[in-house]
Amino acid sequence: MVKLIMGLKGSGKTKKMMDLLKAAIDSENGDIIFIDKDKKLIYDIPYTVRLVHGSDYNICTNQMFKGFVSGIHAGNYDITHVFIDNFFRMLDDTSNDSVAAMLAWLDEFSEKENVKFTISASADVAGLPDSITKFF
């Protein structure tokens, strides 16, 4: 399962994500990972969640991002949920086709490995193709 939270900057995406994170902590029995581009949420993420700063790993292409997610899972098969904040800031190609392909890959990975993904991204939702909006 991939859940995408999109909206313009300041629309409350991170707050909604934090609410979903707290609900996941209460309801899930596995490990939870929170990937953020920078360290702005370091004091907001509960200690039970593994906070990963994407900037520490120099993720600079979409292929590297796929490898990064795969590597995190390979190191811990007990992961049940991955939260990704500022998704577009981690990708080098944010065209609709590229984003749709990345979300489709995450959805396949989710089904195969039984890991949920909740993703936030800053963008105007008007005019997005169905290949992206189906993850709302």
51 pLDDT exceeds 90? yes
Could you give phi then psi for residue 120, rounded to 5 degrees? -115, 145
Share of the chain above pLDDT 90, in %: 86
Which pLDDT belongs to residue 97? 96
Q: Are strands 2-7 and 79-84 parallel, antiparallel or unpaired?
A: unpaired
* HEC profile of 62-78: HHHHHHHHHHHHHHCCC
Rounded Cα distance between 121 and 12, Å, is 11
pLDDT of the residue at 75: 96
Q: What is the CA radius of gyration of the chain?
A: 14
Name which residue leads in pLDDT, 105 or 60: 105
What are the pLDDT digits (tens) for 59-81?
A: 878 999 999 999 999 999 999 99
The mean pLDDT value of the chain amounts to 94
The label of the residue with tokens 């999109």 reads 6
pLDDT at 38: 86
- Would you say the pTM of this structure is higher than 0.85? yes
The domains located in the chain, with CATH, are 2-133 (3.40.50.300)
pLDDT band for position 90 (cuts 50, 70, 90): confident
